[in-house]
Amino acid sequence: RNQDSSSSGHCLVLSRLANAVTPLWRLPYQEQLQVRYYESQRKILQTLASRLEELGIDAQKPGGLCCPLQPVVPSPIINGYRNKSTFSVNRGPDGNPKTVGLYVGTGRERNIVCVKANHVENIPSKHKQVAQCYEEFICHSPLDSCILFHEGGHWRELVVRTTRCGHTMAIITFHPQQLGQGALATQKALLKEFFTSGAGAVCALTSLYFQESTMTRCSHEQSPYQLLHGAPHIFEELLGLRFRISPDAFFQVNTAGAEVLYQAVGELCQAAGDTVLLDICCGTGTIGLSLAHQVSKVIGVDVVEKAIEDAEWNAAFNGISNCEFHSGKAEAVLPQLLASWEEARPLVAVVNPSRAGLHYRVVRAIRNCRAIRRLLYISCKPEGEAMRNFLELCCPPDPRKKLAGEPFAPVLAIPFDMFPHTVHCELVLLFTR
């Protein structure tokens, strides 16, 4: 009976994880698309329509939407599509404090446990293999896992990135606590040995990185990524181009889905040969470079310096000469770029920000640039901070907020399923003025 009870409890925890990470996993795929369309995407456009009405803008279209909504574009790959996974280290359901997996539970209820992700359908087998090997390594380490910073411990997060070229990058985050440089060097040597000639060699890592971090998240500038083994970059092929990827560079998590997304973006831009494409939050340059052949010039901006280095390398490697990339916060770089814009060529903007959305000064710079008549906003969380951006783009001119430019209006919305088995979509909203 005890064995039955233990097995039942284990299955319950696995189901809780699957339901938390991939809540639609039990539904046939076509039903998943319908759920997203009716239960999330329509509601987003209805909310935007209502918020615009509050601003005195007549935005109600059939169904209470702010603009036509196309069906959800399916992902070419449904299972194991993620090219990047982040695994935590914490106490597991069996009490093992060095379990590598994903969280179940909440801090408020104090019932957080870390559950192995072996059965989660959107994570590829290679990622699960690296996570299992990392757990094996830290379980044999005399150093504790770092669950709460103030309680000590060292072993923390694992990030695994893979590409269709067969490359695998592992990034291990480590809290140094009070360890000296000699002790740190020993741990790095042991880690390298394990993944190159020990049991972890089965992972065949292309790159093994180590980051000493005393914060929840650290950029390369705050705490450099240290290459312990292999090549400094991995490479991906997308729409006939080859892209170099650094440890912290943004790349769409579903590569096959990204190809479908970028092809649609190219069509929606309606870019003629004399068009200048403004690629804001450009990452490694995937959008701008994939559309460079359609336009006269691409201008990319991103805050991650390494991503901009990747973008410049990608342009040169692929023989694309009509692109320029700028490193820095968009709110600092973009106003300077657009303040004196007097180009006669049409200017189309594509923005693909993080969940935090665009800084207000970026929206203001776009609004106040008369040359931008067409804007594509790509959002992985349109119901969040992006909604604030939508309203700022469409609200009447407001001298107090220095919004002097003519407002935009939403004219078309297309959701792309970049995250099968989840409730999320990548929503592309087309704005014109």
Pick one of 3.40.250.10, 3.40.50.150, 3.30.1370.60, 1.25.40.10 as the CATH number of 254-432.
3.40.50.150
Write the CB contacts of 332 (distance below 8 Å, at least 6 apart in sequence). none
Quick one: pLDDT band at residue 337, thresholds 50, 70, 90?
Answer: confident
Residue 47: C-alpha distances to residues 63, 97, 381, 382, 426 (Å): 12, 43, 14, 11, 17
How far apart are the C-alpha atoms of 221 and 113, rounded to whole Å?
A: 32
Q: What is the pTM of this model?
A: 0.90
pLDDT at 9: 60
Residue 211 assigned as binding residue: no
pLDDT level of residue 3 (50, 70, 90 thresholds): very low
Express each pLDDT in 65-122 by its tens digit: 999 999 999 999 999 999 999 999 999 998 999 999 999 877 676 778 899 999 999 9
DSSP letter for 142, please.
Answer: S
Amino acid at 101: G
> Among all residues, which ones are annotated catalytic?
380
- Section 401-423 average pLDDT: 94
Q: Rank 21-25, 132-136, 369-373 by mean pLDDT and report only the highest.
A: 132-136
Residue type, 238: L
Hunting for tokens 């600092």 — which residue is that? Answer: 332
Burial call 322-351: b when 16+ CB within 10 Å, e when fewer: ebebbbeebbebbbebbeeeeeeebbbbbb
302 among annotated binding-site residues: yes
Quickly state the pLDDT bin for 161 (edges 50, 70, 90).
Answer: very high
CATH class held by domain 84-237: mainly beta
Residue 368, annotated as binding a ligand:
no
Among 275-284, 341-350, 352-361, name the one with the lowest average pLDDT.
Answer: 341-350
Please give the Cα distance from 332 to 204 (Å, whole number). 41
Give the pLDDT score at 10: 63
CA dist list (Å): 13 to 90, 117, 410: 15, 11, 43
> Residue for token digits 């909310």?
47
Instruction: Provide CATH 2.40.50.1070 ranges for the chain.
Output: 84-237
Interval 382-388 mean pLDDT = 93
Per-state percent for the chain, helix, strand, coil, to nearest 5:
35, 25, 40
Are the C-beta atoms of residues 292 and 323 closer than 8 Å to each other? yes
Ranges in the chain annotated CATH 3.40.50.150:
254-432
- The 3-state DSSP class for residue 171 equals strand
